[in-house]
Chain A
């Protein structure tokens, strides 16, 4: 019995909790893409770099606060810097809308033109991010490192294996829940949220009923900036800030959006968790779990890893391909792009 419990704890520690955290980060990133898609009707390739930009600004403010001696006790100082990061990112996104996308919107260009413009924006942001903070990895997490320490867990359970929850992981899950609940409340209950849904549903009808499109678009960008910055900062707190890893998030994010059904906020969240759990489950080496579960003489020799971690792109990609082949609208019947 203890063997099974130990196996379960190993699984929870190395698969469930990391996948849940990663899923929350992906879900927040994907929500931004889905919001932009439903209101502005294009796939925003700049989302990954937007997340990186928000993180960079937050890191810089964090360092400034740290140099003043400000801290948040056991929580990372980056939380204090987050609102300013969101503000600056929102200003940048509003500027890209004003100087890049608005022109194509008034001209009613094809959606592929928007996608291409977003690629240009992506590379400007890519350069900007490296210009501000350089190409190196940064670690900006401070405060208490663990939410649930190994000793505490061992004392409570008496098992050999331990379940450790880092502060960044707990924070990710709590913040994600707060943001998602807040977003859904905003979309369902407030007048602006309803106007936004109406605009996404039928642009002409919404215009007819006196909804101001510029305002809707502005609010969409601001929400996207907030979601992207929070997702990026949480990802950076969790795994350390690496400029390239934000570009690499682009494929899982798109896969999550399409799996869930593009333009559907609930789909983006579900999609994010599907991608995150598949990625972690497929690339985890099950040797330790199986050693506990199987009888001693059947214990595996190898790592029992389905796919090495270098190929985690392949997981998102395969899921994406299956969805495109079987059900291009995704789980929640979004729009077919």
Chain B
């Protein structure tokens, strides 16, 4: 898959890419005109985030052929970073149990270093494994003994609105960076274990770690409030309500719409202006997000393009296309794979933090493998694995289809079953399950593209 078939046609990508992105823009404008501009911008913002995630996965799959089935976990780590970096700290909770949590963290770190020390000391000797197990067991018991009362105390602090430690209260941009770092750390751990063995192990290990990460976020209320969700995450852009009061914004709206406001009398004018200001405020906020996200996307995309063109990029492609030959040339295959796996996961983590920023809340219950792992894979494969621009295009296109497929699927099912009459139980059942059609369709799209156009919409360019 990642290997370009030798008989694959050479494509002129520049024209294809410009055309594809023009079509994308046209579709978004069509949604803006026919449905609403606010909706079009919402879709666009999520398209950009999807594109960044797809870029991250493309780094892993397209550059190195690493199969990551745990995208969901890395995205959720990004969301977690939003909480621990930008939420304001809960002082009472810190007083109640902060010390115990910190002590437990230190105890865990000591346990890990002790286990590593025993490992180094006794390597190859008898009882080696059992002693490590003993060290870890003692460490777990001690840290649980320290941690549990602290957790209970923290969760008892005003459980309806806080009941967790809060964060550091730093600006949102730091949270995006920390999201990337957290994901990179998790990737390092998994990569150390599963890379160097054959490829399926990485897939299984990432599947496992992502389930565990999301389970932790759902259940550790002192850290994430669990299923009670953290709402009201700080925003890097102004709030709609503030904008509606701000004189400069009202003036701006008035000036932009002066033509349509002219013909009205003063009372009508005020009412119309009021609704215009409300509408424009929401669009203005969405545009701010679009600008910020687009900036991040452009920076990451540019870095990816530069990396792939550099000597490093040539080495990575050489490793991908023939691991044995690259190894024989003295390239460190496993080391390079680890590096790429970490980089790609970090990009996914950044996108996950941005997604939580856009939602304004962190809801551990919403992380499903369908939406966060599988859909991203469809984006990468459809867009063109190994091509950065292709991943971006795939992110845009597949997200748009995913969003619009639900109403279209419902409409299609409605039309197909209308002959059954409104009383029919089967018709009701089919209408209820129309939403599952899009899962089936996405699965079919993945299989069809893999089979008939394995290099995707924008193929990797031969150099």
B447 beta carbon closer than 8 Å to chain A: yes
Closest chain A residue to B226, Cβ basis:
A310
Cα A216 to Cα B201 with chains together (Å): 26
Query: A308–B219 contact, CB under 8 A?
Result: yes
From residue A142, how far is it (CB to closest CB) to chain B in Å? 23
Identify the stretch in A2-10, A187-195, A205-213, A245-253 within 8 Å (CB) of chain B at 4 or more residues: A245-253
Q: Specify which chain A residues have a CB less than 8 angstroms from the CB of B3 in the assembled complex.
A: 110
Query: B204–A258 contact, CB under 8 A?
Result: yes
Identify the stretch in B12-20, B161-169, B436-444 within 8 Å (CB) of chain A at 4 or more residues: B436-444
Which of A45, A127, A324 has the most B CB atoms < 10 Å from its CB? A127
Residue total for B at the interface (Cβ-Cβ under 8 A): 45
Cα A321 to Cα B436 with chains together (Å): 34
Query: B208–A251 contact, CB under 8 A?
Result: yes
Q: A119-B69, A121-B443 are in contact. Are A247 and B437 (CB under 8 A)?
A: no
Which of A103, A116, A120 has the most B CB atoms < 10 Å from its CB? A120
Q: A43-B200, A111-B200, A313-B215 are in contact. Are A124 and B444 (CB under 8 A)?
A: yes
Q: Specify which chain B residues have a CB less than 8 angstroms from the CB of A324 in the assembled complex.
A: 193-194, 197, 201, 205
Query: B193–A127 contact, CB under 8 A?
Result: no
Q: Specify which chain A residues have a CB less than 8 angstroms from the CB of B437 in the assembled complex.
A: 127, 131
Query: B199–A111 contact, CB under 8 A?
Result: yes
Cα A103 to Cα B211 with chains together (Å): 32
Query: A120–B212 contact, CB under 8 A?
Result: no
Query: A321–B193 contact, CB under 8 A?
Result: yes
A117 beta carbon closer than 8 Å to chain B: yes
Q: Specify which chain B residues have a CB less than 8 angstroms from the CB of A328 in the assembled complex.
A: 197, 201
Identify the stretch in B30-38, B78-86, B95-103, B369-377 within 8 Å (CB) of chain A at 4 or more residues: B369-377
Which one of B67, B194, B218 contacts A112 once the chains associate, using CB atoms below 8 Å?
A: B67
Q: Specify which chain B residues have a CB less than 8 angstroms from the CB of A111 in the assembled complex.
A: 198-200
Tell me which residues from 177 to 221 in chain B have a Cβ below 8 Å from any Cβ of chain A.
Answer: 193-194, 197-201, 203-205, 207-209, 211-212, 215-216, 218-219
B453 beta carbon closer than 8 Å to chain A: no
Query: B199–A112 contact, CB under 8 A?
Result: yes
Q: Specify which chain B residues have a CB less than 8 angstroms from the CB of A127 in the assembled complex.
A: 436-440, 443
Cα A128 to Cα B437 with chains together (Å): 8
Closest chain A residue to B137, Cβ basis:
A306
Q: Specify which chain B residues have a CB less than 8 angstroms from the CB of A122 in the assembled complex.
A: 443
Which one of B1, B129, B374, B439 contacts A113 once the chains associate, using CB atoms below 8 Å?
A: B1
B446 beta carbon closer than 8 Å to chain A: yes
Cα A251 to Cα B67 with chains together (Å): 16
Q: Specify which chain B residues have a CB less than 8 angstroms from the CB of A337 in the assembled complex.
A: 197-201
For chain A, the bracket of interface size reads 35 or more
Query: B69–A321 contact, CB under 8 A?
Result: no
Cα A328 to Cα B193 with chains together (Å): 11
A325 beta carbon closer than 8 Å to chain B: yes
Q: A110-B1, A112-B199, A308-B219 are in contact. Are A43 and B204 (CB under 8 A)?
A: yes
From residue A123, how far is it (CB to closest CB) to chain B in Å? 4
Q: Specify which chain B residues have a CB less than 8 angstroms from the CB of A320 in the assembled complex.
A: 204-205, 208
Query: A310–B198 contact, CB under 8 A?
Result: no
Query: B211–A112 contact, CB under 8 A?
Result: no
Cα A308 to Cα B451 with chains together (Å): 43
Closest chain B residue to A328, Cβ basis:
B197
Which one of B199, B208, B370 contacts A317 once the chains associate, using CB atoms below 8 Å?
A: B208
A218 beta carbon closer than 8 Å to chain B: no
Q: Specify which chain B residues have a CB less than 8 angstroms from the CB of A308 in the assembled complex.
A: 219
From residue B445, how far is it (CB to closest CB) to chain A in Å? 9
Cα A311 to Cα B437 with chains together (Å): 32
Cα A110 to Cα B198 with chains together (Å): 11
Query: B212–A43 contact, CB under 8 A?
Result: no
From residue B238, how far is it (CB to closest CB) to chain A in Å? 39
Query: B205–A321 contact, CB under 8 A?
Result: yes
Which of A109, A113, A308 has the most B CB atoms < 10 Å from its CB? A113
Query: A123–B201 contact, CB under 8 A?
Result: no
B450 beta carbon closer than 8 Å to chain A: yes
Closest chain A residue to B429, Cβ basis:
A134
Cα A127 to Cα B406 with chains together (Å): 13
Q: Specify which chain A residues have a CB less than 8 angstroms from the CB of B432 in the assembled complex.
A: 134
Cα A94 to Cα B199 with chains together (Å): 26
Cα A251 to Cα B209 with chains together (Å): 10
B384 beta carbon closer than 8 Å to chain A: no
Cα A310 to Cα B364 with chains together (Å): 14
Tell me which residues from 313 to 329 in chain A have a Cβ below 8 Å from any Cβ of chain B.
Answer: 313-314, 316-317, 320-321, 324-326, 328
Cα A64 to Cα B432 with chains together (Å): 22
Q: Specify which chain B residues have a CB less than 8 angstroms from the CB of A242 in the assembled complex.
A: none
A115 beta carbon closer than 8 Å to chain B: yes
Closest chain B residue to A248, Cβ basis:
B211
Which one of B69, B208, B442, B446 contacts A313 once the chains associate, using CB atoms below 8 Å?
A: B208
Query: B215–A310 contact, CB under 8 A?
Result: yes
Which one of A100, A134, A310, A321 contacts B447 once the chains associate, using CB atoms below 8 Å?
A: A100
Which one of B129, B193, B197, B447 contacts A120 once the chains associate, using CB atoms below 8 Å?
A: B447
Closest chain A residue to B140, Cβ basis:
A306
Query: A124–B443 contact, CB under 8 A?
Result: yes
Q: Specify which chain A residues have a CB less than 8 angstroms from the CB of B194 in the assembled complex.
A: 324
Cα A115 to Cα B436 with chains together (Å): 23
Q: Specify which chain A residues have a CB less than 8 angstroms from the CB of B439 in the assembled complex.
A: 123-124, 126-127, 130
Query: B443–A112 contact, CB under 8 A?
Result: no
Q: Specify which chain B residues have a CB less than 8 angstroms from the CB of A235 in the assembled complex.
A: none
Query: B197–A326 contact, CB under 8 A?
Result: no
Query: B374–A119 contact, CB under 8 A?
Result: yes
Cα A325 to Cα B115 with chains together (Å): 14
Closest chain A residue to B439, Cβ basis:
A127
A42 beta carbon closer than 8 Å to chain B: yes
Q: Specify which chain A residues have a CB less than 8 angstroms from the CB of B205 in the assembled complex.
A: 320-321, 324
Which one of B129, B215, B369, B381 contacts A326 once the chains associate, using CB atoms below 8 Å?
A: B129
Cα A111 to Cα B199 with chains together (Å): 8
Cα A222 to Cα B438 with chains together (Å): 28
From residue B372, how far is it (CB to closest CB) to chain A in Å? 13
B158 beta carbon closer than 8 Å to chain A: no
A95 beta carbon closer than 8 Å to chain B: no
Query: B443–A123 contact, CB under 8 A?
Result: yes
A336 beta carbon closer than 8 Å to chain B: yes
Tell me which residues from 261 to 303 in chain A have a Cβ below 8 Å from any Cβ of chain B.
Answer: none
Cα A45 to Cα B70 with chains together (Å): 13
From residue A174, how far is it (CB to closest CB) to chain B in Å? 31
B433 beta carbon closer than 8 Å to chain A: yes
From residue B382, how far is it (CB to closest CB) to chain A in Å? 12
Query: A317–B197 contact, CB under 8 A?
Result: no
Q: A43-B204, A251-B208, A324-B193 are in contact. Are A314 and B215 (CB under 8 A)?
A: yes
Write 5 A-B pairs (CB below 8 A) sorted by A numbering: A119-B377, A124-B439, A254-B204, A258-B204, A311-B212
A residues whose Cβ falls under 8 Å from a Cβ of B: 42-43, 45, 100, 103, 109-113, 115-117, 119-124, 126-128, 130-131, 134, 247-248, 250-251, 254-255, 258, 308, 310-311, 313-314, 316-317, 320-321, 324-326, 328, 336-337
Q: Kindly list the 8 A-B residue pairs having the minimum CB-CB distance in the complex, ordered from nearest.
A: A127-B439, A124-B443, A127-B440, A123-B443, A317-B208, A120-B446, A120-B447, A130-B436
14 extra A-B contacts, CB within 8 A, seeds A122-B443, A254-B207: A100-B447, A112-B199, A115-B200, A123-B442, A124-B439, A126-B370, A127-B440, A130-B433, A130-B436, A134-B429, A313-B215, A320-B204, A336-B197, A336-B198
